[in-house]
């Protein structure tokens, strides 16, 4: 059930990108960032949970404007680098 829900959400987001592209008359295949916004959305859903992925996608769309420089912008996930309780007890 959860997998079907994710597929529906990804499909909705992909169609939203197509709508935004045609709305602003951006030529097809032109993107300032690498990876493109659709690839970024796919990666964010595979690397993070649902809510964090939505947050990252919205943040990326806000950055995509005529005044941004673009360039390489991978999905970055902040990880907690603190030692776990089990490792502290073993030391």
Is 7 domain-assigned? yes
Per the structure, the count of domains in the chain is 1
Question: Whole domain around residue 40: which residue ranges?
Answer: 2-72
Is 88 domain-assigned? no
Is 6 domain-assigned? yes
Whether residue 19 is predicted with pLDDT greater than 60 in this model: the reply is: yes
Encode burial over 10-35: b for 16+ CB neighbours within 10 A, e otherwise.
beebeeebeeebeeeeeeeeeebbee
For 31-41, the pLDDT digits (tens) are 788 888 888 99
Q: Which residue has the higher pLDDT, 49 or 65?
A: 49
For the chain, give the mean pLDDT.
Answer: 75
């Amino acid at each position: 059930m959860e997998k079907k829900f994710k597929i529906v959400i990804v499909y909705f987001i992909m169609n939203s990108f197509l709508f935004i592209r045609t709305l602003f008359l951006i030529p097809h295949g032109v993107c300032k960032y690498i990876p493109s916004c659709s690839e970024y959305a796919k990666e964010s859903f595979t690397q993070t949970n649902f809510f964090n992925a939505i947050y990252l996608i919205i943040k990326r769309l806000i950055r995509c404007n005529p005044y941004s420089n673009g360039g390489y912008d991978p999905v970055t996930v902040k990880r907690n680098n603190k030692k776990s309780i089990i490792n502290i007890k073993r030391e």
